[in-house]
Amino acid sequence: MTLPSLSTPRLQLRQLTEADREAVVKVFADPEMSRFFAADFADPAVASTMVDRRLAYRGPAGQGHWVIERDGEVIGVAHLRPSWELPGGVAELGYYVETAHAGQGLATEAARAVLGHGFRALGLPAIWALVHERNAASRKVAGRLGFLDVGGGVHYGDRHRVLVALPAVHGRPHHIELWVPDLAEAKRSWGWLLGELGWREYQSWPAGVSWRLGGTYLVAEASPALSATEHERTRPGLNHLALHVASRAEVDALATRAEAHGWRPLFADRYPHAGGPAHYAAYLENEAGFEVELVAAGEPPAAS
Protein backbone atom coordinates (compact mmCIF):
# COMPACT_ATOMS: atom_id res chain seq x y z
CA MET A 1 0.00 0.00 0.00
CA THR A 2 1.45 3.35 -1.06
CA LEU A 3 0.61 6.65 0.61
CA PRO A 4 0.92 9.95 -1.24
CA SER A 5 3.59 12.40 -0.09
CA LEU A 6 2.18 15.64 1.31
CA SER A 7 3.93 19.03 1.21
CA THR A 8 3.52 22.17 3.31
CA PRO A 9 5.58 25.39 3.31
CA ARG A 10 8.04 23.92 5.84
CA LEU A 11 7.43 20.19 5.87
CA GLN A 12 7.36 17.03 3.81
CA LEU A 13 5.18 14.11 4.90
CA ARG A 14 5.97 10.75 3.31
CA GLN A 15 5.06 7.15 3.99
CA LEU A 16 6.77 5.54 6.96
CA THR A 17 9.26 2.85 5.94
CA GLU A 18 11.55 0.42 7.71
CA ALA A 19 14.45 2.78 6.99
CA ASP A 20 12.82 5.35 9.30
CA ARG A 21 12.86 3.11 12.39
CA GLU A 22 15.94 4.61 14.03
CA ALA A 23 14.82 8.19 13.33
CA VAL A 24 11.34 7.61 14.78
CA VAL A 25 12.79 5.94 17.88
CA LYS A 26 14.98 9.03 18.30
CA VAL A 27 11.93 11.33 18.01
CA PHE A 28 10.36 9.56 20.99
CA ALA A 29 13.57 9.34 23.06
CA ASP A 30 12.63 12.42 25.09
CA PRO A 31 10.45 11.22 28.03
CA GLU A 32 8.27 14.30 27.49
CA MET A 33 6.99 12.69 24.28
CA SER A 34 5.44 9.86 26.35
CA ARG A 35 3.82 12.12 28.91
CA PHE A 36 0.29 11.43 27.67
CA PHE A 37 0.78 7.81 26.58
CA ALA A 38 0.19 4.66 28.61
CA ALA A 39 3.50 3.32 27.23
CA ASP A 40 7.02 4.67 27.78
CA PHE A 41 8.32 5.29 24.28
CA ALA A 42 11.56 6.68 25.69
CA ASP A 43 12.49 2.99 26.00
CA PRO A 44 13.93 2.19 22.53
CA ALA A 45 12.45 -1.31 22.58
CA VAL A 46 8.95 0.03 23.28
CA ALA A 47 9.33 2.70 20.61
CA SER A 48 10.56 0.12 18.11
CA THR A 49 7.51 -2.05 18.81
CA MET A 50 5.33 0.99 18.13
CA VAL A 51 7.10 1.37 14.78
CA ASP A 52 6.38 -2.32 14.09
CA ARG A 53 2.66 -1.70 14.60
CA ARG A 54 2.70 1.26 12.24
CA LEU A 55 4.63 -0.62 9.57
CA ALA A 56 2.23 -3.56 9.85
CA TYR A 57 -0.78 -1.35 9.14
CA ARG A 58 -3.13 -2.66 6.45
CA GLY A 59 -6.26 -0.64 5.90
CA PRO A 60 -8.24 1.52 3.48
CA ALA A 61 -6.38 2.94 0.51
CA GLY A 62 -4.99 6.41 1.14
CA GLN A 63 -4.84 5.97 4.91
CA GLY A 64 -1.83 4.98 6.98
CA HIS A 65 1.28 6.42 8.63
CA TRP A 66 3.59 9.24 7.56
CA VAL A 67 6.90 10.54 8.87
CA ILE A 68 7.15 14.32 9.16
CA GLU A 69 10.36 15.78 7.74
CA ARG A 70 11.83 19.27 8.01
CA ASP A 71 14.89 20.02 5.90
CA GLY A 72 15.37 16.28 5.38
CA GLU A 73 15.26 15.45 9.11
CA VAL A 74 12.51 13.26 10.58
CA ILE A 75 10.92 15.31 13.36
CA GLY A 76 7.66 13.45 13.93
CA VAL A 77 4.98 11.08 12.73
CA ALA A 78 1.35 11.43 11.73
CA HIS A 79 -1.40 9.00 10.91
CA LEU A 80 -4.87 8.77 9.45
CA ARG A 81 -6.36 5.32 9.93
CA PRO A 82 -9.48 3.53 11.16
CA SER A 83 -9.77 4.17 14.88
CA TRP A 84 -8.88 1.42 17.30
CA GLU A 85 -10.97 3.08 20.01
CA LEU A 86 -14.05 4.56 18.32
CA PRO A 87 -16.82 2.38 16.85
CA GLY A 88 -17.50 1.91 13.17
CA GLY A 89 -13.93 2.10 11.93
CA VAL A 90 -14.09 5.89 11.62
CA ALA A 91 -10.95 7.68 10.43
CA GLU A 92 -8.76 8.91 13.30
CA LEU A 93 -6.02 11.53 13.01
CA GLY A 94 -2.84 11.51 15.12
CA TYR A 95 0.16 13.88 15.03
CA TYR A 96 3.38 13.92 17.06
CA VAL A 97 6.27 16.37 16.67
CA GLU A 98 9.59 16.06 18.51
CA THR A 99 9.80 18.20 21.64
CA ALA A 100 12.76 20.15 20.27
CA HIS A 101 10.53 21.44 17.46
CA ALA A 102 7.48 22.26 19.60
CA GLY A 103 5.97 25.72 19.75
CA GLN A 104 6.59 26.54 16.08
CA GLY A 105 3.24 25.54 14.62
CA LEU A 106 4.69 22.48 12.94
CA ALA A 107 2.20 20.02 14.43
CA THR A 108 -0.63 22.20 13.17
CA GLU A 109 0.97 22.41 9.72
CA ALA A 110 1.45 18.66 9.45
CA ALA A 111 -1.98 17.79 10.79
CA ARG A 112 -3.65 20.27 8.43
CA ALA A 113 -1.96 18.55 5.48
CA VAL A 114 -3.27 15.15 6.56
CA LEU A 115 -6.75 16.56 7.19
CA GLY A 116 -6.78 18.11 3.74
CA HIS A 117 -5.76 14.80 2.21
CA GLY A 118 -8.54 13.00 4.10
CA PHE A 119 -11.24 15.42 3.07
CA ARG A 120 -10.17 16.43 -0.44
CA ALA A 121 -8.46 13.33 -1.80
CA LEU A 122 -10.34 10.62 0.12
CA GLY A 123 -13.68 12.39 0.49
CA LEU A 124 -14.07 11.35 4.12
CA PRO A 125 -17.31 12.62 5.71
CA ALA A 126 -15.62 13.25 9.06
CA ILE A 127 -12.23 12.82 10.75
CA TRP A 128 -11.91 12.11 14.46
CA ALA A 129 -9.18 12.67 17.01
CA LEU A 130 -8.64 11.49 20.60
CA VAL A 131 -6.61 13.92 22.69
CA HIS A 132 -5.59 13.36 26.30
CA GLU A 133 -7.59 15.61 28.62
CA ARG A 134 -4.39 17.13 30.08
CA ASN A 135 -2.68 17.65 26.74
CA ALA A 136 -3.47 21.35 26.43
CA ALA A 137 -1.04 21.92 23.56
CA SER A 138 -2.55 19.20 21.37
CA ARG A 139 -6.07 20.38 22.16
CA LYS A 140 -5.08 23.87 21.00
CA VAL A 141 -3.76 22.39 17.76
CA ALA A 142 -7.07 20.56 17.26
CA GLY A 143 -8.97 23.78 17.91
CA ARG A 144 -6.94 25.64 15.30
CA LEU A 145 -7.74 22.87 12.83
CA GLY A 146 -11.48 23.25 13.41
CA PHE A 147 -12.09 20.15 15.51
CA LEU A 148 -15.18 20.20 17.71
CA ASP A 149 -15.18 18.66 21.19
CA VAL A 150 -18.10 16.24 21.34
CA GLY A 151 -17.41 14.43 24.60
CA GLY A 152 -14.92 12.44 26.60
CA GLY A 153 -14.15 8.98 27.87
CA VAL A 154 -11.49 6.44 28.63
CA HIS A 155 -9.48 5.67 25.50
CA TYR A 156 -6.00 4.22 25.16
CA GLY A 157 -6.12 3.52 28.89
CA ASP A 158 -6.77 7.10 30.11
CA ARG A 159 -9.16 10.04 29.88
CA HIS A 160 -9.34 11.58 26.40
CA ARG A 161 -11.48 14.19 24.71
CA VAL A 162 -13.34 13.00 21.61
CA LEU A 163 -13.00 15.51 18.78
CA VAL A 164 -14.41 15.61 15.26
CA ALA A 165 -13.66 17.70 12.18
CA LEU A 166 -16.04 18.06 9.24
CA PRO A 167 -15.24 19.06 5.65
CA ALA A 168 -15.08 22.80 5.04
CA VAL A 169 -17.70 24.46 2.84
CA HIS A 170 -15.05 26.30 0.80
CA GLY A 171 -14.93 25.04 -2.79
CA ARG A 172 -17.83 22.59 -2.45
CA PRO A 173 -20.84 22.74 -4.82
CA HIS A 174 -23.49 25.25 -3.79
CA HIS A 175 -26.10 24.17 -6.33
CA ILE A 176 -26.49 22.61 -9.77
CA GLU A 177 -29.13 23.88 -12.18
CA LEU A 178 -30.55 21.78 -15.01
CA TRP A 179 -32.74 23.37 -17.69
CA VAL A 180 -35.25 20.74 -18.71
CA PRO A 181 -37.76 20.62 -21.59
CA ASP A 182 -40.45 18.85 -19.54
CA LEU A 183 -40.78 19.78 -15.88
CA ALA A 184 -43.32 17.04 -15.12
CA GLU A 185 -40.94 14.39 -16.47
CA ALA A 186 -38.08 15.88 -14.47
CA LYS A 187 -40.13 15.77 -11.29
CA ARG A 188 -40.97 12.13 -11.96
CA SER A 189 -37.46 10.89 -12.74
CA TRP A 190 -35.21 13.20 -10.74
CA GLY A 191 -37.70 13.49 -7.86
CA TRP A 192 -37.78 9.73 -7.40
CA LEU A 193 -34.05 9.17 -7.74
CA LEU A 194 -32.95 12.04 -5.51
CA GLY A 195 -35.57 11.09 -2.94
CA GLU A 196 -34.16 7.56 -2.82
CA LEU A 197 -30.70 9.05 -2.18
CA GLY A 198 -31.89 11.19 0.73
CA TRP A 199 -32.51 14.51 -1.04
CA ARG A 200 -35.70 16.38 -0.12
CA GLU A 201 -37.78 18.85 -2.10
CA TYR A 202 -36.48 22.32 -1.25
CA GLN A 203 -38.34 24.87 -3.39
CA SER A 204 -41.09 24.75 -5.98
CA TRP A 205 -42.45 27.36 -8.41
CA PRO A 206 -44.46 27.17 -11.66
CA ALA A 207 -41.38 26.76 -13.88
CA GLY A 208 -39.16 24.69 -11.59
CA VAL A 209 -38.38 22.62 -8.54
CA SER A 210 -35.31 21.95 -6.44
CA TRP A 211 -34.14 19.20 -4.11
CA ARG A 212 -31.59 19.62 -1.31
CA LEU A 213 -29.07 17.39 0.45
CA GLY A 214 -27.09 19.13 3.18
CA GLY A 215 -25.78 22.41 1.86
CA THR A 216 -26.17 21.53 -1.83
CA TYR A 217 -29.30 21.69 -3.93
CA LEU A 218 -30.19 20.64 -7.49
CA VAL A 219 -32.62 22.67 -9.61
CA ALA A 220 -34.73 21.47 -12.55
CA GLU A 221 -36.23 24.42 -14.42
CA ALA A 222 -38.29 24.71 -17.61
CA SER A 223 -36.97 28.17 -18.34
CA PRO A 224 -38.70 30.36 -20.96
CA ALA A 225 -35.19 31.19 -22.19
CA LEU A 226 -34.51 27.59 -23.35
CA SER A 227 -32.92 27.65 -26.82
CA ALA A 228 -33.62 24.00 -27.64
CA THR A 229 -36.27 21.40 -26.90
CA GLU A 230 -33.95 18.55 -25.93
CA HIS A 231 -30.79 17.85 -23.98
CA GLU A 232 -27.90 16.23 -25.84
CA ARG A 233 -25.24 14.93 -23.45
CA THR A 234 -22.63 14.40 -26.18
CA ARG A 235 -22.54 18.11 -27.02
CA PRO A 236 -20.34 20.55 -25.07
CA GLY A 237 -21.80 21.11 -21.63
CA LEU A 238 -23.11 18.72 -19.03
CA ASN A 239 -22.43 15.07 -19.85
CA HIS A 240 -23.70 13.48 -16.64
CA LEU A 241 -24.03 13.78 -12.89
CA ALA A 242 -22.32 11.18 -10.66
CA LEU A 243 -23.78 10.56 -7.21
CA HIS A 244 -22.55 8.44 -4.30
CA VAL A 245 -24.64 5.45 -3.21
CA ALA A 246 -24.05 3.80 0.16
CA SER A 247 -23.26 0.29 -1.09
CA ARG A 248 -23.04 -1.98 -4.12
CA ALA A 249 -26.28 -3.67 -3.05
CA GLU A 250 -28.07 -0.32 -3.08
CA VAL A 251 -26.67 0.48 -6.53
CA ASP A 252 -28.15 -2.83 -7.73
CA ALA A 253 -31.51 -2.08 -6.10
CA LEU A 254 -31.75 1.41 -7.59
CA ALA A 255 -30.73 0.17 -11.04
CA THR A 256 -33.45 -2.48 -10.90
CA ARG A 257 -36.20 -0.08 -9.84
CA ALA A 258 -35.18 2.91 -11.95
CA GLU A 259 -36.97 1.87 -15.15
CA ALA A 260 -40.34 2.22 -13.41
CA HIS A 261 -39.50 5.84 -12.67
CA GLY A 262 -38.39 7.17 -16.03
CA TRP A 263 -34.79 5.92 -16.26
CA ARG A 264 -33.32 3.43 -18.71
CA PRO A 265 -29.95 1.68 -18.31
CA LEU A 266 -26.90 2.72 -20.29
CA PHE A 267 -24.03 0.31 -21.06
CA ALA A 268 -26.15 -2.53 -19.65
CA ASP A 269 -23.93 -5.14 -21.26
CA ARG A 270 -21.03 -3.96 -19.07
CA TYR A 271 -22.95 -3.47 -15.81
CA PRO A 272 -21.73 -2.85 -13.13
CA HIS A 273 -18.19 -2.20 -14.41
CA ALA A 274 -18.76 0.07 -17.40
CA GLY A 275 -16.42 2.58 -15.73
CA GLY A 276 -13.63 0.03 -15.37
CA PRO A 277 -13.07 -3.34 -13.65
CA ALA A 278 -12.63 -1.80 -10.19
CA HIS A 279 -15.46 0.76 -10.50
CA TYR A 280 -18.96 -0.35 -9.43
CA ALA A 281 -21.68 1.91 -10.80
CA ALA A 282 -24.99 2.11 -12.64
CA TYR A 283 -25.36 4.47 -15.62
CA LEU A 284 -28.91 5.62 -16.31
CA GLU A 285 -30.60 8.02 -18.74
CA ASN A 286 -34.02 9.62 -18.38
CA GLU A 287 -36.52 10.49 -21.11
CA ALA A 288 -35.03 13.97 -21.54
CA GLY A 289 -31.58 12.50 -22.22
CA PHE A 290 -29.94 13.39 -18.91
CA GLU A 291 -27.44 10.81 -17.67
CA VAL A 292 -26.71 9.95 -14.06
CA GLU A 293 -24.00 7.68 -12.67
CA LEU A 294 -24.70 5.95 -9.35
CA VAL A 295 -21.38 5.03 -7.74
CA ALA A 296 -21.01 2.61 -4.84
CA ALA A 297 -19.35 4.39 -1.92
CA GLY A 298 -15.62 3.87 -1.63
CA GLU A 299 -15.12 2.93 -5.28
CA PRO A 300 -12.09 4.30 -7.18
CA PRO A 301 -12.59 6.82 -10.02
CA ALA A 302 -13.96 5.53 -13.30
CA ALA A 303 -11.48 4.82 -16.08
CA SER A 304 -11.27 7.71 -18.53
pLDDT for the residue 169: 81
Q: Is there a single domain that holds both residue 160 and residue 257?
A: no
Do the domain assignments include residue 303?
A: no
Per residue in 229-286, pLDDT tens? 999 999 999 999 999 999 999 999 999 999 999 999 999 999 999 999 989 999 999 9
The strand pairing partners of 81, in sequence order, are 92
Distance between CA atoms of 133 and 156, rounded to whole angstroms? Answer: 12
**For residue 114, pLDDT beyond 60:** yes
Distances (CA, A) of 162 to 126, 165, 174: 13, 11, 30
| 98-103: Cβ within 8 A, 24+ apart | 98/27, 98/30, 98/33, 99/30, 99/32, 99/33, 100/30, 100/75, 101/70, 101/75, 101/76, 102/137
Domain containing residue 12: 6-165
pLDDT (mean) for 155-173 = 91
Per residue in 20-61, pLDDT tens? 999 999 999 999 999 999 999 999 999 999 999 999 999 999
Residue type for position 304: S
Domain at 41, CATH number: 3.40.630.30
Domain at 194, CATH number: 3.10.180.10
Do the domain assignments include residue 137?
A: yes
Do the domain assignments include residue 211?
A: yes
> How many domains is the chain partitioned into structurally?
2
pLDDT range class, residue 303, cuts 50, 70, 90: low
Distances (CA, A) of 6 to 74, 107, 118, 138: 14, 14, 11, 21
pLDDT for the residue 171: 83
